[in-house]
């Protein structure tokens, strides 16, 4: 029998690569080949309706990872072993298919992922319908297709779920999205989008510092204190609190009724009174003057302003003279069974009661264009657009959720392209597949629920959520990890994660409340950051483990730099619990909560390392541990042990060792006092002449630069000047000091090691 990768249904069984993925498949389920061994799964019905739930079959015998929306705004991961472990509103399922079809053996000290393949199921958009997956207590896997508009009905959905398989889960995700990009034509993969340049610069967001009480003087104080400490922000987000809004339900002198704050509506596209007539600073009479002043004084490169997709949380104020041109009317959201099937959200529940001021759909582009044109004329460089998923609840009478989301997304992206020089847009609260598969140009989106500084039980969930969600989001956007606080019990934990996340890095410290020891491990003196190349994602051996609640697993996240890899190891156990996750309180795992967990790290945890290793790679790697300062030489599949307490982490730079001759084995590590050391290495060149050999490294930044060197060089040059260096003959660590660059000059250095 020939084993094919193409999914097929025979005798009630859905088979992929010779393995039965679903059993007891109903007769109305249809499989249609796509390309490169992939397919679409759909189903037919005898009735027309705007929402169908179809059974696909029974899912058993595989370790599963799914990403699902636990509320209307945000996704989180869930691991399991059968269909009953798949919650409603699941937007991705990854199955682990081992050759022996056996579950992971917990008794194996260092389990491998050899002889393992992976099966991906992605619920997608099919015409005007959006799909999600869900399981039942009897291990049935179902898919739900819905339009969100009672007038938009169907009796079948033939391209509801995309299914594909492969030996590498990251390559599988990438290739699958490329197939869907070409086939659907409604979205673009990240590699085909323009990245906003602010990603490479340190930022500050006003939200946690002031919440909606943000004011010009506070912004100046925050920029001043960060700059004085040696970590100047070059990117600023002025978050919620700058707009002209009205809460019709608030009466002065009385407490705000719970929920009415979300019904606050936009009165005008221009700034509120706080940003008009800036007190004693007579030169700043409006938003334009204020932004001009702070850009000049603090050398800001990019200023973003916050707004909601519909202007503000409660939309536009229908009675406002300034808003009448957009024909707003009050619309009450209608939540789908999926929205309320997990955790209800107070914001959308409140809007159901109080309504949203919805603009006329023929005026969507006009509204965004007016708003963004005004902001651009005020010196603003981009926008963070929040509350995006609200649109799926307002689609009745507007052609359905898929069509309305596409209209809004296309108008938003067109306006950003027209009014701002770069693709300066951050999408937020947009964790639905309607957005994912309609994202043509937007290249940055928030990858998890907010950073919650006051909720100690949310810190580990934040790190794990972003890492796992990046498996999906990382194919279409740069996942945004949100702000964090540099002066916080978990500052090192969050800072290290963002340094290897491949994302923009910004904090929301109160003015003067900073820990520069943490910040200077991320931010260079000129305000730039050492950003890794891709989205930081869990290592292959972590994909089907629960790093938050199983009491035994460490979370490992991998990424690549230009010439090296990076692995972050995080102990996320024993602090928080996943929403909707039942806790077996009599389980010793949850009662003991070990203070330390042990695991292992291997160069093999870094995917695609060979792509950056070069032709002189020996197969060995120099592995540098940031916190311990240890350096070891390991073969590709070698391991080193790690032991971490709760909320502790370790960062490893994995640099392939190049062999240039019998004596010269070399691996650049980078700036060893920065979390992402290897991000400071731009290029490597070997020159051999009669006088000896020279390794030329193009580096970035200043501080201690480290490298693995099998032998001690004769001397070292930095920008043609000889520099002293230290060499440890035991672990072969070579270090030298890169002098401080002029802030007006180039941040790149030429470092020569002469042998």
pLDDT tens digits along 509-559:
999 999 999 999 999 999 999 999 999 999 999 999 999 999 999 999 999
* Residue 435 and residue 297 share a domain: yes
Q: Could you tell me the pLDDT band of residue 108, with boundaries at 50, 70 and 90?
A: very low
The percent of residues in the chain predicted with pLDDT above 70, rounded, is 95
Q: Given pLDDT bands bounded at 50, 70 and 90, which one contains residue 710? A: very high
Using the 3D structure, point to which of 446, 479, 494 is the last residue of a domain: 446
Q: Are residues 123 and 42 in the same domain?
A: yes
Residue that is written with structure tokens 């050391």 in the block: 677
Q: Average pLDDT, stretch 409-435?
A: 98
At 640, the pLDDT band (50, 70, 90 cuts) reads very high
Whether residue 481 has pLDDT greater than 60: yes
622 and 711, same domain (yes or no): yes
Give the model confidence (pLDDT) of 226-272 as tens digits. 999 999 999 999 999 999 999 999 888 888 889 999 999 999 999 99
Residue 26: the pLDDT is 98
On the question of pLDDT at 105 being above 60, the answer is no
Residue 195 lies inside a defined structural domain of this protein: no
d(CA 309, CA 304): 15
Average pLDDT in the 627-643 region? 98
Q: What is the mean pLDDT of residues 1-20?
A: 86
Kindly indicate the confidence band of residue 689, based on its pLDDT and cuts at 50, 70 and 90. Answer: confident
**Dihedral, 189, 193, 197, 203 alpha carbons, nearest 10:** -40
User: What gap in Å lies between CA 669 and CA 653, rounded to an integer?
Assistant: 7
3-state DSSP call for residue 493?
helix
* Amino acid 99: pLDDT: 80
Q: Which of 282-291, 447-456, 581-590 has the lowest mean pLDDT?
A: 581-590
Number of independent structural domains in the chain? 3
Rounded to 5°, angle at Cα 196 from 436 and 422: 105
CA-CA distance, 288 to 279, in Å (whole number)? 15
| 103, 107, 111, 115 alpha-carbon torsion, rounded to 10° | -40
Helix, strand, coil percentages in the chain from 3-state DSSP, rounded to 5 = 25, 35, 40
Average pLDDT on 693-700 reads 97
Q: Do 247 and 341 fall within a single domain? A: yes
Residue 478 pLDDT greater than 90, yes or no: yes
Let me know if residue 197 belongs to a domain: no
Distances, alpha carbon 310 to alpha carbons 245, 514, 618, in Å: 13, 34, 56
Encoded tokens for 704: 């201690």
pLDDT attached to residue 114 = 76
- Does residue 357 lie within any of the structural domains? yes
Residues 584 and 727 in one domain: yes
Question: Is the pLDDT reported for residue 282 higher than 70?
Answer: no
Grouping H, G, I as helix, E, B as strand and the rest as coil, residue 411 is: helix
Q: 279 and 141, same structural domain?
A: no
How far is 737 from 725, CA to CA, in rounded Å? 7
Residue with tokens 């859905």: 14
**In a shared domain, residues 623 and 683:** yes
Assigned token pair, 313? 């949380």
My answer on whether 630 and 733 are in the same domain is: yes
For residues 423 and 572, membership in a common domain is answered with no
Could you tell me the two tokens for 549?
Answer: 């609640």
Average pLDDT across the chain, whole number = 95
Least confident piece of the model among 149-158, 338-347, 581-590? 581-590
Res 593: pLDDT: 61
pLDDT score recorded for residue 110? 53
* Tokens linked to 669: 């590590």
| DSSP-based three-state secondary structure for 9 | strand
Q: Report yes or no on 288 lying in a domain.
A: yes
The 3 state secondary structure assigned to 341-364 is CCCCCHHHHHHHHHCEEECCHHHH
Average pLDDT on 640-663 reads: 97
Which pLDDT belongs to residue 490? 98
Helix ranges, 458-567 (H): 459-473, 491-499, 516-519
Average pLDDT, stretch 683-701?
94
Q: What is the pTM of this model?
A: 0.96
pLDDT (0 to 100) of residue 394: 98
Q: What angle do CA 69, 178, 189 make, to 5 degrees?
A: 65
In a domain, 476, yes or no: no
Domain boundary among 399, 423, 446: 446
CA count, 13 A, side-chain hemisphere, 721: 8
Domain with 420, as residue range(s), is: 235-446
Same domain, 422 and 542: no
Least confident among 106-115, 345-354, 367-376:
106-115
Instruction: Evaluate whether 238 touches 265 at the Cβ level (below 8 Å).
Output: no
For range 326-341, the mean pLDDT: 97
pLDDT of amino acid 473: 98
SS3 33: strand
In a domain, 243, yes or no: yes
Nearest Cα neighbor of 363 from 415, 400, 399 is 415
Is 460 a domain residue? no
Asked if residue 555 lies in contact with residue 542, where contact means CB atoms within 8 angstroms, the answer is yes
Rounded to whole angstroms, the Cα distance separating 399 from 320 reads 27
Given a cut of 90, is residue 320 above it in pLDDT? yes
Q: Is the pLDDT of residue 585 over 90?
A: no
Q: Are both 166 and 262 inside the same structural domain? A: no
Q: Is 79 a member of any domain?
A: yes
**In this structure, are 548 and 693 located in the same domain?**
yes
Residue where one domain finishes, among candidates 446, 476, 507: 446
What is the average pLDDT across 140-162? Answer: 98
User: Looking at residue 744, what is its pLDDT?
Assistant: 59
| Class of residue 127 by CB neighbours under 10 A (exposed 0-12, middle 13-18, buried 19+) | middle
- pLDDT higher than threshold 70 for residue 102: no
Residues 6+ apart with CB under 8 A from 171: none
Give the pLDDT score at 107: 44
């Amino acid at each position: 029998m020939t084993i094919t990768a193409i999914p097929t249904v025979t005798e009630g069984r859905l088979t992929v690569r010779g393995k039965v993925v679903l059993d007891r498949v109903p007769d109305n389920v249809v499989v249609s080949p796509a390309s490169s061994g992939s397919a679409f799964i759909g189903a037919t019905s005898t009735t027309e309706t705007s929402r169908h739930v179809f059974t696909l079959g029974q899912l058993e015998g595989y370790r599963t990872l799914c990403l699902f929306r636990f509320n209307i705004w945000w996704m989180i991961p869930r691991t399991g072993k059968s269909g009953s472990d798949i919650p409603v509103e699941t937007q991705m399922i990854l199955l682990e298919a081992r050759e022996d079809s056996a579950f992971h053996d917990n008794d194996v000290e260092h389990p491998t992922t050899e002889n393992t393949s992976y099966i991906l199921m992605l619920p997608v958009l099919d015409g005007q319908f959006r799909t999600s997956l869900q399981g039942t207590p009897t291990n049935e896997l179902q898919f739900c297709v819905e339009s969100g508009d009672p007038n938009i009905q169907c009796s079948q959905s033939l391209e509801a779920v995309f299914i594909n398989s492969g030996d590498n889960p990251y390559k599988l995700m990438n290739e699958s999205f490329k197939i869907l990009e070409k086939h659907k034509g409604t979205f673009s993969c990240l590699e085909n989008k323009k990245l906003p340049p602010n990603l490479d610069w340190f930022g500050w967001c006003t939200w946690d510092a002031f919440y909606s009480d943000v004011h010009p003087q506070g912004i100046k104080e925050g920029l001043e204190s960060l700059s004085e400490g040696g970590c100047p922000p070059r990117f600023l987000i002025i978050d919620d609190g700058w707009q002209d809004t009205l809460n019709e339900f608030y009466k002065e002198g009385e407490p705000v009724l719970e929920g009415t704050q979300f019904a606050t509506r936009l009165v005008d596209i221009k700034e509120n009174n706080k940003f008009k007539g800036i007190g004693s600073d007579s030169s700043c009479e409006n938003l334009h003057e204020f932004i001009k002043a702070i850009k000049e004084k603090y050398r800001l490169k990019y200023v973003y302003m916050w707004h909601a997709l519909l202007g503000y949380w409660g939309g536009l104020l229908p009675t406002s003279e300034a808003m009448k041109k957009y024909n707003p009317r009050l619309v009450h959201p209608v939540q789908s069974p999926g929205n309320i099937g997990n955790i209800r959200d107070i914001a959308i529940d409140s809007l159901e009661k109080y309504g949203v001021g919805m603009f006329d759909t023929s005026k969507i582009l006009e509204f965004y264009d007016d708003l963004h044109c005004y902001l651009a004329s005020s010196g603003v460089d981009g926008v963070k657009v929040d509350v995006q998923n609200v649109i799926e609840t307002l689609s009745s009478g507007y052609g359905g959720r898929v069509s309305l989301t596409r209209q809004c997304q296309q108008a938003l992206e067109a306006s950003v392209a027209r009014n701002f020089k770069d693709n300066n847009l951050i999408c937020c609260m947009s964790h639905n597949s309607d957005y994912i598969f309609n994202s043509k140009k937007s290249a940055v989106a928030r990858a998890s629920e907010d950073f919650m500084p006051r909720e100690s039980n949310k810190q580990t969930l934040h790190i794990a959520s972003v890492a796992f969600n990046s498996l999906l989001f990382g194919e279409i956007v740069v996942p945004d990890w949100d702000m964090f606080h540099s002066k916080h019990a978990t500052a090192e934990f969050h800072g290290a994660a963002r340094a290897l996340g491949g994302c923009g890095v910004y904090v929301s410290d109160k003015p003067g409340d900073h820990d520069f020891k943490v910040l200077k491990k991320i931010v260079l003196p000129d305000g730039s950051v050492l950003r890794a190349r891709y989205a930081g994602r869990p290592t292959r051996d972590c994909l089907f483990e629960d790093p938050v609640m199983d009491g035994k697993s460490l979370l490992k996240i991998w990424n690549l730099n230009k010439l090296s890899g990076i692995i972050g190891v995080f102990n996320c156990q024993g602090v928080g619990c996943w929403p909707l996750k039942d806790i077996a309180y009599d389980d010793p795992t949850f009662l003991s909560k070990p203070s330390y967990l042990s695991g292992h790290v291997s160069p093999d945890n870094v995917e695609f390392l060979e792509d950056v290793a070069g032709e002189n790679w020996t197969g060995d790697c120099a592995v540098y541990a940031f916190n311990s300062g240890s350096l070891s030489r390991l073969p590709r599949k070698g391991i080193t042990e790690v032991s971490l307490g709760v909320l502790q982490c370790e960062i490893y730079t994995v640099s392939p060792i190049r062999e240039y001759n019998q004596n010269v084995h070399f691996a650049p590590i980078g700036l060893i006092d920065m979390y992402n050391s290897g991000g400071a290495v731009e290029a490597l060149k070997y020159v051999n002449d009669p006088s000896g050999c020279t390794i030329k490294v193009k580096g970035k930044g200043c501080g201690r630069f480290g490298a693995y060197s099998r032998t001690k060089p004769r001397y070292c040059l930095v920008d043609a000047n000889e520099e002293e260096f230290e060499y440890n003959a035991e672990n072969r660590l070579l270090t030298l000091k890169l002098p401080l660059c002029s802030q007006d000059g180039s941040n790149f250095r030429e470092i020569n090691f002469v042998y």
